A and B are shown apart, each in its own frame.
Chain A
Amino acid sequence: MKAGWTISAVGHAALLAWGLISIAAKPLNASPPESMPVDIISATDFSQITNGIKTAPKAETPKPLVEKVAEAKPVEEANAKVVDKKPEIVATSDKVEPPKPQVEQKKPEPKPTPAQKSEPKQAFAKEPEQKLDPIAEALKKDTQKPDPKTQQKAETPLPPKKPEPHKPQPKFDASRIAALLDKRDPQRHSATGDTLSHTPSLGTPMGRAASLTQSEIDALRARIQQCWNPPAGLADARDLIVVVRIRFNPDGSLSTDPTLSNSGSHPTFQVAAESALRAVRRCAPYSFMPVAKYDVWKDVEVTFDPRDMFRG
C-alpha cells in the first residue's frame, strides 16, 4: 500500500517538475524599437536644427566622386557635429564672463528630459552627456547665464567621434552640486542651426538634439534599414513580405549566404526578395554587434515588410 502512494507521489512530482522546468522555448522577439526622447518643437525650430551654414569652414570629408559607403549611425553623426562646435564654445566663455548677474530669461519650455538635468553628475550616460554639455553651452549663450562651473566642463576634451570610455571630470566638486542645480532653470529648447550644425551643407534630412543609446538589436535593425532599397512604386505591397534568415560569425560577418525563409506567388516577389537579400549582403560585416552577446544575435530571422512605406 505504501509503495503505491509513493509511486503516485513521485510520479506526480516528476511530471510537475518536468512541466515547470522544460518549458517550450518561445522565440525571443526583439524588443520594440528604440525609445527616443520626444520634443515638441515648431516647424521653424526644426528647420533651424537642420539648417546648414554655407559659410562655415569646410569640414574634412572625402570628396565623393561616388555614392558614399553607408554612413555611420545617426548617433555618431550627431557626435561629429558636436565636436566641431568646440571652438565656438571657447569663444563663448570669453564673452559671457564679464556681465555677471543677468536677468534670467524665462522661456516657456516643455519639461526637460532627465538627461538634461543630470549634466553635472558623476555617473554619466556617456554619449548623451558629452553631447549635451556643448549644447548646454550653446543654450547659455542665448540666455546669457554665466556659469563658470559648466564652462570649465566644456573645456575638458570632448571625446572623438567614436564613443570612448568616459573620462572622469577633473574638477568635479560634490559640494557645489547645489550651486549648479540652482542656477539652471529647467530649460530646454532646440539649439538653432548655427550652434548645432557646423558642417557646410544644405542641411540634413534629420535633426536630433539628443538620443538614447540604441540597443544592439535596434542597431542591427537600423543598419539593415539603411541598406534596404525596396523597389519603389510597386503596386500591391501586401504580397511582398520577405523573410530572410541570416547567420553571423562572431565578428559580425555573414557565415553563410542569407537564405529566403518564405515564398510568394506575386510575380514581383522575386524582385522584392532580391532587394532584401541585397540589403543584407551590402551591409555586411555588422562589426558593431557585441561579441559578448553573440548567442543572442548569431541566428536572426528578418522580416522585410514594405507595407508601411507605400501607404497612401
Chain B
Amino acid sequence: MRQALPPFGFTRRRVLAFGAAASASALIAPSASAQLRLDVTQGNVQPIPIAIPDFVGGTPNDTEAARGVTQVITNNLRRSGLFNPIDPAAYIEKITSFDVLPRFPDWKAINAQGLITGRVTRQGDGRLKVEFRLWDVTSGQQLTGQQYFTSPDNWRRIAHIVSDQVYERLTGEKGYFDTRIVFVDETGPKERRVKRLAIMDQDGANVRYLTRGDDLVLTPRFAPSTQEITYMSYGQGDPRVLLLNIETGQREIVGNFPGMTFSPRFSPTGQQVIMSLQQGGNSNLFVMDLQSKRTTRLTDTSAIDTAPCYAPDGGRICFESDRGGKPQIYVMGVGGGGAQRISFGEGSYSTPVWSPRGDFIAFTKQYQGQFAIGIMKPDGSGERLLTSGFHNEGPTFAPNGRVVMFFRDPGSGPSLYTIDVTGRNEQKVPTPALASDPAWSPLLS
C-alpha cells in the first residue's frame, strides 16, 4: 500500500532531522559579551600635585621678572588649598625653552598631574609679554595656554590672571586671585588705635592707604565697579556713610540724614546703596539711589534692623534684626514687605553676607561666649560652622563663592584669615599691621 506523500516532501524523517539540526544550532548560544562594570564612589580629596618650574625669561634680563611671576602663581595655588606645588628641587627635567614639548615621563615620575610652563619677555615698546601653557601630564595634552601684554609694573596682576586660568581649568570653578581686599588697618596701642582704610592685593602685596587716620573708619565695602568704596566714618559728629573714589580720592557723604547711618552696602548694579539708619532707639533699612539721591525706607519696625546685604541677583536682601528678641537673620524682597527669618539655631546671628554664587549666606554667630563664622543656604537649611573660637567676625565672600575671609582678635589685636566654604584650609592673610573688617572685591579682570 502506498502512503500518500505529505505536502512539500515533509516526511517525518526529514522533519526530525531538520528539527535536530535546528536545536543543535540553537544550542550554540551567542557568546555573552559580559562587560565588567564597576562603581567608584570614593576618591582621594587631595590637593592636585602640580609642577610649576620657573618661567623662562625671553631675554637674560627677564629672568628676575619671570621668577617673580612664578613665585606669585605658586603662592596663589598653594594658598588655595586645592593644589600642591611640588618642590622644585625634585624636578627632573629643567625647562629651558617655552616652545619645546616637555618630557612628560620625567614629570610623571615625580607624580605631577599638571605642569605649567611660561615665558616672560620685555617687548621693544616697554611692555611686558607673559605667556603660559598648562599641560596634563598623564595624557601629554595642553589644557590651556594664553599670552598677555601689560605694563611692567602690572606683572603681579598677570601672575594672578594666570593663576585664575589654571585654577578654573583644573577645578571648574572661577578663580579669585585677581582681586583686592579693602580693610581697616589698625596701628597703635589699644587705647588709642589709629584706624585707616587700606587696600591691597588678595595675597597681601601692594598695600595702599586710603584715609589718613583722623577719623575712625568701619565696614568698608566695594562697589561692583571696584573703583568706589563705601564705608562708615566717625569723624565729626554722627557716624556717616561715605563714598570714596579709589582713583581720585574724592569723598562724598551718602545722603544727609538726621541720625546715624551704619553698615552701608552697594547693590549688585552699583546704582544703589543700602544702609541702616538709626532714629530714636531703633534702626531701620533705607536704600538710596546714587543718581537721583532718592531714599526709600525698607523696614519700619521698632526693632534694630541692620547689616543689610543684597542677593547677587539683586532681588532680595538679607539683614540682621532683633525683632524676635535676639539678633537673627532675615530675608526680604528688595522692595520691602514681609521679612522671613532664616536662622533658628541657638545663639545670636549677625553680619549676614550673601555669596556671589547665591548658594550660601555667611554670618557671625555668637553662642555661650564663642564667636563662630558659619554658612547656611538662603532658606536657612544646611547651617554649618566653619570656624569657632574666642572671637571671629565679619565674613566676606571671594568672588567665586568658595572662600570666606573674616577677622579674628585673639586678644592681642585683630588679623585677617581666609577659610574654604568646606571648612578646610584656614590661612592667615599677611597684612602690614593689625587688620579688621575685610571686604573682597569682585574680579578685577
Binding site for B on A (CB under 8 A): 2-3, 6-7, 9-11, 13-14, 17-18, 21-23, 25-30, 65-69, 217, 220-221, 224-235, 257, 267-268, 270-272, 274, 277-279, 281-282, 296-297, 299-309
Q: Which residue of A lies closest to B141 (CB)?
A: A274
CB A258 to nearest CB in B, in angstroms, measures 10
Interface size counted on chain B using CB atoms at 8 A: 57
Q: How far is the CA of A18 from the CA of B25 in the complex (A)?
A: 9
CB B50 to nearest CB in A, in angstroms, measures 11
Is A278 in contact with B111, judged by CB distance below 8 angstroms? no
**Interface bits B92-118 vs A (CB < 8 Å: 1, else 0):** 000000000000000000110100000
Binding site for A on B (CB under 8 A): 6, 10-12, 15-16, 18-20, 22-23, 26-27, 29-46, 48-49, 82, 84, 86-87, 89-90, 110-111, 113, 136, 138-139, 143, 169-173, 357, 359, 402, 420-422
CB B373 to nearest CB in A, in angstroms, measures 17
Is A18 in contact with B26, judged by CB distance below 8 angstroms? yes
Q: Which 9 pairs from chain A and chain B are nearest by CB?
A: A25-B32, A10-B19, A268-B172, A271-B172, A228-B43, A18-B26, A28-B34, A281-B138, A22-B29
Chain A residues, Cβ within 8 Å of B402? 233
Is B173 in contact with A234, judged by CB distance below 8 angstroms? yes
- Decide if the interface of chain B is mainly helix, strand, loop or mixed: loop
Q: How far is the CA of A84 from the CA of B11 in the complex (A)?
A: 82
Q: How far is the CA of A304 from the CA of B20 in the complex (A)?
A: 48
Q: How far is the CA of A66 from the CA of B91 in the complex (A)?
A: 9
Is A69 in contact with B111, judged by CB distance below 8 angstroms? yes
Q: Which residue of A lies closest to B92 (CB)?
A: A66
Q: How far is the CA of A230 from the CA of B42 in the complex (A)?
A: 9
Is A231 in contact with B171, judged by CB distance below 8 angstroms? yes
Partner of A225, one of B10, B33, B42, B359: B42
Is B12 in contact with A6, judged by CB distance below 8 angstroms? yes
Is B43 in contact with A67, judged by CB distance below 8 angstroms? no
Partner of B139, one of A9, A225, A234, A278: A278
- Once A3-B12, A66-B110 are accepted as A-B contacts, the answer to whether A225 and B34 lie under 8 Å apart by CB is no
Is B36 in contact with A217, judged by CB distance below 8 angstroms? yes
Chain A residues, Cβ within 8 Å of B86? 66-67
Chain B residues, Cβ within 8 Å of A25? 30-34
Q: Which residue of A lies closest to B420 (CB)?
A: A233
Chain B residues, Cβ within 8 Å of A221? 38-40
A–B complex contacts, Cβ < 8 Å, 12 sampled: A10-B20, A26-B34, A27-B34, A28-B34, A30-B37, A68-B111, A229-B46, A277-B138, A278-B113, A300-B38, A304-B40, A307-B41
Is B82 in contact with A232, judged by CB distance below 8 angstroms? yes
- Once A14-B19, A233-B173, A257-B139 are accepted as A-B contacts, the answer to whether A225 and B44 lie under 8 Å apart by CB is yes
Is B90 in contact with A230, judged by CB distance below 8 angstroms? no
Chain B residues, Cβ within 8 Å of A309? 41-43, 45
CB A178 to nearest CB in B, in angstroms, measures 45
Partner of A278, one of B10, B82, B90, B136: B136
Chain A residues, Cβ within 8 Å of B170? 231, 271
Q: How far is the CA of A278 from the CA of B20 in the complex (A)?
A: 54
Q: Which residue of A lies closest to B13 (CB)?
A: A6
Q: How far is the CA of A65 from the CA of B87 in the complex (A)?
A: 7
Q: How far is the CA of A228 from the CA of B46 in the complex (A)?
A: 9
Chain B residues, Cβ within 8 Å of A224? 38, 40
Is A235 in contact with B136, judged by CB distance below 8 angstroms? no
Q: How far is the CA of A22 from the CA of B25 in the complex (A)?
A: 10
Is B111 in contact with A305, judged by CB distance below 8 angstroms? no
Is A17 in contact with B26, judged by CB distance below 8 angstroms? yes
